[in-house]
Chain A
Amino acid sequence: NAGVTQTPKFQVLKTGQSMTLQCAQDMNHEYMSWYRQDPGMGLRLIHYSVGAGITDQGEVPNGYNVSRSTTEDFPLRLLSAAPSQTSVYFCASSYGVHSPLHFGNGTRLTVT
């Protein structure tokens, strides 16, 4: 039972490069989301999805794209990396309303 799997664990990008952070879950959860964690700011929601084919913006969506073609996968795309996107990114999923979130172990991204 893998839960929520994020890849890669670490990534260094140069300003202007693009990349995709991968997230997969094997719990058949409908709800998936991406957060970024910055020191002293808690977790902030980037994008979320309530099911395959349905996505919406969270609190800090600028500079990021998502898609949800399957229930299992929810990739996060950085279109043109900026130093302000240096952060730790977490993917999470849950079963239903008010259900607890299951988190991946995070991707630590540095943009130089």
Chain B
Amino acid sequence: AQSVTQLDSHVSVSEGTPVLLRCNYSSSYSPSLFWYVQHPNKGLQLLLKYTSAATLVKGINGFEAEFKKSETSFHLTKPSAHMSDAAEYFCVVSEGSSFGNEKLTFGTGTRLTIIP
């Protein structure tokens, strides 16, 4: 069975400083991994995805994540936080090779606060 753990429910950083949001996963197969962002009163939007190509994945708005199989981690980073990055972030793991077997498991989310 797959699972995903977001290690911090809330992260606060100052504007202009680096962001690190941590995600660990467990999966029986080679998973696909995603990060989604949710701004207040909005649906989730894809930031980036890993699907067994390059282990360092670049996403939108300057975010990137590194897939580390040995550590079963997929942490999200950004070199310099911006006020507009304040939102909730979800790590998602996907298993299965075809529809009907596809299973997505969402983490419980990390709320990112940016301090001016």
* Complex: A106 Cα to B43 Cα, angstroms: 6
Q: Is the CB of A97 within 8 A of B102?
A: yes
Is the C-beta of B94 less than 8 angstroms from some C-beta in chain A? yes
Chain B residues positioned under 8 Å from A42 (CB to CB)? 90, 106-109
Cross-interface CB contact of A98 among B41, B51, B90, B106, cutoff 8 Å: B51
Contact-residue size bin, chain B (C-beta under 8 Å from the other chain): 20 to 34
Residues of A bordering B, CB below 8 Å? 4, 30-31, 35, 40-45, 50, 56, 90, 92, 96-98, 100-101, 103-106
Q: How far is the CB of B90 from chain A (nearest CB, A)?
A: 6
* Complex: A75 Cα to B77 Cα, angstroms: 37
Cross-interface CB contact of A105 among B43, B46, B109, cutoff 8 Å: B43
Cross-interface CB contact of A50 among B36, B94, B100, cutoff 8 Å: B100
Cross-interface CB contact of B46 among A44, A96, A97, A100, cutoff 8 Å: A100
Residues of B bordering A, CB below 8 Å? 9, 32, 34, 36, 41-46, 49, 51, 90, 94, 96-100, 102, 104, 106-109
Q: Is the CB of A101 within 8 A of B46?
A: yes
Chain A residues positioned under 8 Å from B94 (CB to CB)? 98
* Complex: A31 Cα to B98 Cα, angstroms: 11
Q: How far is the CB of B27 from chain A (nearest CB, A)?
A: 13
Cross-interface CB contact of B99 among A50, A92, A100, A104, cutoff 8 Å: A50
* Complex: A96 Cα to B43 Cα, angstroms: 20
Q: Is the CB of A101 within 8 A of B44?
A: yes
